[in-house]
Amino acid sequence: MRVKVRSGDTLWYYSQLFNLPLRLVIDSNPGLDAANLNPGQEVDIPGLVFIDYQVKLGDSVWRLSRERGYPLDAILLLNQSVNPNNLAVGQQLRLPLKVTWFVVDVQQPYDYQALRSDLNRLIDIYPFLRQRNIGASVMDKPIPEIRIGQGSRSVHVNGSFHANEWITTPVLVKFLNEYALALTNSGGIRGLLMYPFYELVTLSLVPMVNPDGVDLVINGLPADEPYRSNVLSYNGGNTDFRGWKANIRGVDLNDQFPALWELEVARNPTTEPGPRDYPGTAPLTEPEAIAMAELTRQSNFAHVLAFHTQGRVIYWGFQNLEPPISETMVNEFARVSGYEPVQTIESYAGYKDWFIQDWRRPGFTVELGRGVNPLPLGQFNEIYEESLGILLASLYL
């Protein structure tokens, strides 16, 4: 919700007026000099919207304040051109409304357009969320990263490395919504107050690493050439892409990292672009993998989690290079989710493998749910509740 500054107004005053932590108001207005607000400047107030209200017989701003549960000055702030002592029947007022509900509907086939629409909606209501594009896909779709929190310790979570594992994306977007909702309503999630985590931890989310692949699985053949003809050829002429994991060039993005990539090539019978398991001609040839590598190099993450499907397991080791704390962490993830911790399997060149190898910090691949990919939306609520424990634990561990 956007308001116009009056003489004497401060961000601290707005935080008191709307019962919000001052830090959230400041972070929602990064371009403003909080110490020198000028009348007429616009300020974003997070977690609120305004509704249009038509004055009825007997209405007054005092009565509306009492009925709506907002301080009188909150209504006056939104209606600065209105004479509060002379309301007319039929006159239009703006009234504040605290958002107490989920503003995104993620239980749908969740393609790239749905992601961008929902992120825009969340950022509009919760402008303390920080969005940037870390790169672009083969088909030039910007890959968004969202950050929430101002803490010195950074944690990263990503989803949809694999196209037909797209249900991981709405899981992360719903968590982002639930986190922001708790912050602006002085609330918690599963008994944990969230604002202390906002101050202690910076959470980085890349909800959809592979937007071209996700769109292919959900929406079918792209209109653009040469992608249309190529993916049809890679898929053996079949227009059913439910088994497609790769990016639009037929490269498996989670086989693209320089962590014993040569061993992954040697053990992998897939030598040509296709729906899955082709590691490419070298590490980090694909723009999506390059974007993730650059983000990670720039960010000093304390630990990372890559959300995949399926199996209800958490892989947490790589070549015994993981630090001892990784085992403690994965046991907590297992406790809160019911998933099985597995230290290692014969697999190389994955994102968490590379993170463990190069940083010697905890990295985890979390295989959500169980069944055949893409997992059905009928499993979403169960998957989300299992994921929620892991996401919360990633903030306090």
Region for residue 148 given its phi and psi (left: phi exceeds 0; alpha: psi -120 to 50; beta: otherwise): beta
Asked about 385 being catalytic, the answer comes back as: no
- The amino acid at residue 8 is G
Positive or negative torsion for Cα 270, 275, 280, 281 = positive
DSSP 43-73: EE-TTEEEEEEE--TT--HHHHHHHHT--HH
Q: Are 313 and 339 in contact (CB under 8 A)?
A: yes
DSSP 215-252: HHHHH-S-SSTTHHHHHHHHTTT----TT--S-TTS--
Q: Of residues 367, 382, 385, 386, which has the active-site annotation?
A: 367
- Report the C-alpha gap between 302 and 304 in whole angstroms: 7
Residue 207's CB is within 10 A of a number of other CB atoms, namely: 27
Three-state SS for 248?
coil
DSSP 241: -
Helix/strand/coil (H/E/C) assignment for every residue in 370-395 = CCCCCCCHHHHHHHHHHHHHHHHHHH
- Structure token digits, residue 331: 């046991």
Q: Which of 218, 20, 17, 186 is closest to 113 using CA atoms? A: 218
Three-state SS for 25?
helix
What stretch of H or E contains 26?
helix 22-27
- Report the C-alpha gap between 278 and 296 in whole angstroms: 23
First to last CA, the chain: 34
What stretch of H or E contains 287?
helix 287-299
- The amino acid at residue 133 is N
Residue 337's φ and ψ, nearest 5 degrees, are -115, -25
- Structure token digits, residue 50: 């305004």
Q: Are 184 and 394 in contact (CB under 8 A)?
A: no
Active site residues: 367
